[in-house]
Structure 1
């Protein structure tokens, strides 16, 4: 399953891919997996934003739903990131550093992924 998900991340994105509020694409690649293809110049937190936004708006999941990174660290050059909603599929040690309350299992809620990591990007147009 993980190999299939990685291959899907490397393939060209489908026309129907979800466009997150930060301009990145996200796609469901399994029952509980969300793939965010590589996007040049983006930080890892931007990938969390796209996965969280997809889970919240496309899958209509509650904001309290937990999200884990399924791709191991470090992310290779040109690689996207695979996320999971299933704790048993998480990559050990690949979560974000956490401060404050909440579980210390490498996950964040999809609400936190969106509220803390989504920056709306306004494209620059030359007229």
Structure 2
């Protein structure tokens, strides 16, 4: 079980990552609308998800058994913020509805990748233990 201080750090990290992703969507809409850039962005999400999981582990000072719950907390907080923002204030992501929709797809992809990679990292560490 994660300690209160770990959860607080992870919630803060979640907010910071949400802000960065939102700014990326807002100020670089072509990265989502352009077919080549959009595909490249999805591919580039794999190392970025790995980096995010690593950052969650370091910032939260998580043991291997705490990694998936820690990534789940970061993802859950960011997804709830995204859900509320997309419902009540989609303009925070930009003015182009297509860019906002494709940016939301990219966010979902990234959340899934991060959680999946965290699981694979833990499974791998358990196999080598």
Same fold by TM-score greater than 0.5: no
Higher RCO by CA contacts (8 Å cutoff, separation 6 or greater): 2
Q: Which has the higher strand share?
A: 1
TM-score (norm 1): 0.32
TM-score (norm 2): 0.31
Q: Which has the higher helix share?
A: 2
